[in-house]
Chain A
């Protein structure tokens, strides 16, 4: 009998209609659940299996893409210089992961490959960071080594040593692959170097005062050595020595300047005529010697520059050949890669084997050529680096010589003409300035344009210092490369191909590509009046004892005339012989003179009676006042500073391109304050 027919089974069941309803409802719920499961199963079978299949295909494709990307990145990394331990470690780890990824499932393999690519990226980043830091570190090292440090000062010497040690430490860190640490150390080194360079500029200024003192002290005759006044002066100078060694620059300058001034007065009173003439003769001899050294060095410099040009051409040529060779190697490698499967598939085919061998031989030859060219290029680059270093050193020497010559010249006794007395002194950025004493002069010119009339008397009531030269490119570079310098776009027009300054990496340098940038001693051009004013602000920060600014028009004409009433400081005619103007259009004479067509090193012509160079021609010089053509009609008699507002500002002195008539002492040029061109530069005054 079937189990379901057993009475016991019947008695076990729920004998109620409600129970039956529940049982039927349970049955329907169970069926619904089963239906749902079956539907899900069908859907899974219908969709999940193809999806899984596609997923695996995609994973394989992704792995292949990652493999390709890895190989590309790896090849890129290979082109970067090796040797950094951290880079090598990352590279090796990545290679291990890449090798192992082939033996794993797609998903795990993809993870490994992504990790490997990340490692390659990291290695590349490390390598690039290292290169970047080394690129930065090398000029820093050169700056440390080649800067003419005034290391007779203990402070400068210690700071220099500290910088050298920091430089070595950074180099060691880079060699060990600790790029992040090296970056931190390098940042600290840059800060320290900026600080010590600032101190060195201070030392440079102080050194000029010190040199003045040393030179003057050398003129003391033996008979006066025991003089009590001399002893007192020497004591003061010794205080300057102490300040010099300890880095107390302001005190040192004050002491040296004071001692030199006192000694000068003392010598003026105590020296006999014979002794004075001996001193003057010795100075003249020294100037002559320095001039000769300078011209020799300049010739050497020119020769080195020519050699450098030739070398650069050779380097370009070598680089071109190398890239051609590299391209050839790449092409041959690709050919070989294409031939390899053919060779594998058809080992018995002699022509395929022959082609393969030929290509392999060609590749070997190309590789040899490439290696030779690389070595040649490297050698040329090294030679170029040596030459550039020598060139830089020569330039520094030339600058120093010029500074020495200028020292001598500026401290020659004041000219007897005019009522002003002139005294030489050293100012910010190594600028040489003369002190212009107060006085009266007749401003304007009857032979000039209408805005120069009428001639009227002007009184300069306060003394001021004026740069004996127009501001040079070298001085501008000192400013531009100073720590914390923030350049505004309307100061210097770097987009002008004749701008004598250009940016190279993080530093500014002489733009030798233009004739206006052949020498750092050429006057700065392509700078707006706003830029010139910014330079004055920087000078004031460098030399807090003085306030630097652009000259007022009246100050400029007063100093340029230097007590004369003629059109030029030397007379009423100019044809480019006495100054750098367009000699094709002379003034006051029919005889045409030279036209150089470019600026010339400052101080290349005779100075005026008060020791100011290039007050005629070379470059126009920005003044501080607004321009008003009728200003002379009602200008104040004392210290006129131009109208209170205006749209154009004044510039004086004419330039290398302008006619003789435009280079007269009384000529009033006007430009927009933010305009820049190769005709306008500036000189500064200080109070």
Chain B
């Protein structure tokens, strides 16, 4: 599946089959065009949920992201509308995300707050959630090319801390990418929990291939090759690669060896102890460790 859709491993997992470059070239991210993908019945259903001023802002993995305002409070809301709901896989991802966001174990302040999810008959299913101010990490890095290394380090720490909080709740994101991380100031929030699951100790069958999207640029080798489901160790591996990008502005997958990554980090001004911490995490995690923290599908229990 990754081979079908990727022109660049750095593209988001939920960027859809054409990839970001194609989408931009075709004008598919144009809000007017995106709004055309929303059925009037769907818009009516959204409006019936007390929302107004609905505009399209982005395209997600399985649908379109709308921005709307609460009719009563005026607060902004994000509405994710599933395109092609007849595709069971998409619907499965939609429902999983809804379950994760509405789960009690999800710590506050990590993911957008869940407000409602609807599957109206004759209309597209949609999910209403908190609108997160800020920028995606990729956009934030583009907007701040001359950040100090200390500031970048603090962002890396915030990234690990956010994922540590998530993992402490026995949850796993399973789709670490620059586009799924929102940043505002030095606060980090995660979005797109469509692939999320529960982390579980003990042996899990590896025969069931993951149906969740991943971003190849940050996935570990076995996960990218779909040899196993992403584990906590794989997620730490992916966060380490994101941090590498945050620190150096380059993608770890573009460099063939650890020595090259070390050189790049040194040039970027990273200290030796930071390199010593981060560099091993960019290697594929050991199988044994990945097996110990293999995920359970949400709703499989």
Q: Distance in Å from the Cβ of A318 to the closest Cβ of chain B? A: 92
Within 8 A of B (CB), among A6-30: 7, 9-11, 13, 15-18, 20-21, 23-25, 27, 30
In the complex the two chains form, is B157's CB within 8 Å of A24's CB? yes
Q: Is the interface of B mostly helix, strand, loop or mixed?
A: helix
Query: Is A4 part of the contact surface with B, judged by Cβ < 8 Å?
Result: yes
Contact partner, A15, options B156, B262, B285, Cβ 8 Å: B285
List the B side residues contacting A20 at CB < 8 Å: 160, 164, 236, 239-240, 277, 281
Query: Is A103 part of the contact surface with B, judged by Cβ < 8 Å?
Result: no
Contact partner, B161, options A7, A9, A13, A17, Cβ 8 Å: A17
In the complex the two chains form, is B276's CB within 8 Å of A10's CB? no
Q: A16-B236, A17-B161, A21-B157 are in contact. Are A4 and B289 (CB under 8 A)?
A: no
CA distance A24 to B164 in the complex (A): 13
In the complex the two chains form, is B283's CB within 8 Å of A5's CB? yes
CA distance A9 to B168 in the complex (A): 25
Q: Distance in Å from the Cβ of B228 to the closest Cβ of chain A? A: 14
Q: 1/0 per position for B269-284, CB-CB distance to A under 8 A? A: 0010110110111011
Q: Distance in Å from the Cβ of B245 to the closest Cβ of chain A? A: 16
Q: A10-B286, A27-B273, A27-B274 are in contact. Are A17 and B163 (CB under 8 A)?
A: yes
List the B side residues contacting A11 at CB < 8 Å: 286, 288-289
Q: Which residue of B lies closest to A3 (CB)?
A: B258
Query: Is A2 part of the contact surface with B, judged by Cβ < 8 Å?
Result: yes
Query: Is B232 part of the contact surface with A, judged by Cβ < 8 Å?
Result: yes
Within 8 A of A (CB), among B204-255: 232-233, 235-237, 239-240
In the complex the two chains form, is A17's CB within 8 Å of B160's CB? yes
In the complex the two chains form, is A5's CB within 8 Å of B258's CB? yes
Query: Is B167 part of the contact surface with A, judged by Cβ < 8 Å?
Result: yes
Q: 1/0 per position for B28-72, CB-CB distance to A under 8 A? A: 000000000000000000000000000000000000000000000
Contact partner, A18, options B164, B259, B277, B288, Cβ 8 Å: B164
In the complex the two chains form, is B286's CB within 8 Å of A7's CB? yes
Q: Which residue of A lies closest to B239 (CB)?
A: A17
In the complex the two chains form, is A13's CB within 8 Å of B280's CB? yes
Q: Distance in Å from the Cβ of A38 to the closest Cβ of chain B? A: 14
Q: 1/0 per position for B136-169, CB-CB distance to A under 8 A? A: 0000000000000000010011001101101110
A-B CB contact pairs (8 Å), 8 listed:
A5-B283, A11-B286, A15-B233, A16-B164, A17-B164, A20-B236, A24-B160, A27-B277
List the B side residues contacting A4 at CB < 8 Å: 258, 262, 276, 279-280
In the complex the two chains form, is B280's CB within 8 Å of A17's CB? no
List the A side residues contacting B240 at CB < 8 Å: 20
Q: 1/0 per position for A119-155, CB-CB distance to B under 8 A? A: 0000000000000000000000000000000000000
Q: Which residue of A lies closest to B288 (CB)?
A: A11
CA distance A20 to B286 in the complex (A): 17
Q: 1/0 per position for A96-116, CB-CB distance to B under 8 A? A: 000000000000000000000
Q: Which residue of B lies closest to A20 (CB)?
A: B160
Q: Distance in Å from the Cβ of A26 to the closest Cβ of chain B? A: 9
Q: A5-B283, A7-B283, A10-B283 are in contact. Are A15 and B277 (CB under 8 A)?
A: no
Q: Which residue of A lies closest to B276 (CB)?
A: A4
Of the four ranges (under 10, 10 to 19, 20 to 34, 35 or more), the interface on chain B belongs to 35 or more
11 additional A-B residue pairs with CB within 8 Å, beyond A16-B167, A17-B239, A27-B271: A4-B258, A4-B262, A10-B280, A10-B285, A10-B286, A13-B280, A13-B281, A17-B166, A17-B236, A24-B153, A31-B271
Which of A2, A7, A16, A31 has the largest number of chain B CB atoms within 10 A? Answer: A16
CA distance A223 to B164 in the complex (A): 146
Q: Distance in Å from the Cβ of B238 to the closest Cβ of chain A? A: 10
Binding site for A on B (CB under 8 A): 153, 156-157, 160-161, 163-164, 166-168, 232-233, 235-237, 239-240, 257-259, 262, 271, 273-274, 276-277, 279-281, 283-286, 288-289
In the complex, number of A-B residue pairs with CB atoms less than 8 Å apart: 82
Contact partner, B168, options A5, A15, A18, Cβ 8 Å: A18
CA distance A30 to B276 in the complex (A): 14
Q: Which residue of A lies closest to B274 (CB)?
A: A27
Q: Which residue of A lies closest to B156 (CB)?
A: A24
Q: Is the interface of A mostly helix, strand, loop or mixed?
A: helix
In the complex the two chains form, is B258's CB within 8 Å of A15's CB? no
CA distance A5 to B283 in the complex (A): 7
List the B side residues contacting A16 at CB < 8 Å: 164, 167, 232-233, 236
Q: Which residue of B lies closest to A23 (CB)?
A: B277
In the complex the two chains form, is B280's CB within 8 Å of A9's CB? yes
* Nearest 10 CB-CB pairings of A with B: A5-B258, A17-B164, A18-B164, A17-B163, A15-B233, A10-B283, A11-B286, A20-B160, A24-B157, A23-B277
Contact partner, B281, options A15, A27, A31, Cβ 8 Å: A15
List the A side residues contacting B166 at CB < 8 Å: 17
CA distance A490 to B157 in the complex (A): 95
List the A side residues contacting B262 at CB < 8 Å: 2, 4
List the B side residues contacting A2 at CB < 8 Å: 257-259, 262
List the A side residues contacting B153 at CB < 8 Å: 24
Q: A4-B280, A10-B280, A27-B277 are in contact. Are A17 and B259 (CB under 8 A)?
A: no
Q: Distance in Å from the Cβ of B250 to the closest Cβ of chain A? A: 18
CA distance A25 to B160 in the complex (A): 11
Q: Which residue of B lies closest to A25 (CB)?
A: B157
CA distance A11 to B274 in the complex (A): 18
Contact partner, A24, options B235, B257, B277, Cβ 8 Å: B277
Within 8 A of B (CB), among A345-379: none
List the A side residues contacting B235 at CB < 8 Å: 17
In the complex the two chains form, is B167's CB within 8 Å of A17's CB? yes
CA distance A4 to B279 in the complex (A): 7
CA distance A513 to B157 in the complex (A): 103
Q: Distance in Å from the Cβ of B176 to the closest Cβ of chain A? A: 11
Q: Distance in Å from the Cβ of B189 to the closest Cβ of chain A? A: 15
List the B side residues contacting A7 at CB < 8 Å: 283-284, 286
In the complex the two chains form, is A21's CB within 8 Å of B236's CB? no
In the complex the two chains form, is B161's CB within 8 Å of A15's CB? no
Q: Distance in Å from the Cβ of A590 to the closest Cβ of chain B? A: 127
CA distance A48 to B160 in the complex (A): 43
List the A side residues contacting B157 at CB < 8 Å: 21, 24-25
Q: 1/0 per position for A324-358, CB-CB distance to B under 8 A? A: 00000000000000000000000000000000000
Q: Which residue of A lies closest to B259 (CB)?
A: A2
List the B side residues contacting A21 at CB < 8 Å: 157, 160-161, 164
Q: Distance in Å from the Cβ of A649 to the closest Cβ of chain B? A: 103
List the B side residues contacting A15 at CB < 8 Å: 232-233, 236-237, 281, 285-286, 289
List the A side residues contacting B156 at CB < 8 Å: 24
Q: Which residue of A lies closest to B277 (CB)?
A: A23
List the B side residues contacting A10 at CB < 8 Å: 280-281, 283-286
List the B side residues contacting A31 at CB < 8 Å: 271, 273
List the A side residues contacting B281 at CB < 8 Å: 10, 13, 15, 20
Q: Distance in Å from the Cβ of B62 to the closest Cβ of chain A? A: 26
CA distance A16 to B165 in the complex (A): 11
Q: Distance in Å from the Cβ of A428 to the closest Cβ of chain B? A: 105
List the A side residues contacting B274 at CB < 8 Å: 24, 27
CA distance A16 to B160 in the complex (A): 9
List the B side residues contacting A17 at CB < 8 Å: 160-161, 163-164, 166-167, 232, 235-236, 239
In the complex the two chains form, is B167's CB within 8 Å of A18's CB? yes
CA distance A16 to B281 in the complex (A): 10
Q: Which residue of A lies closest to B290 (CB)?
A: A15
CA distance A11 to B163 in the complex (A): 20
Q: Distance in Å from the Cβ of A79 to the closest Cβ of chain B? A: 75
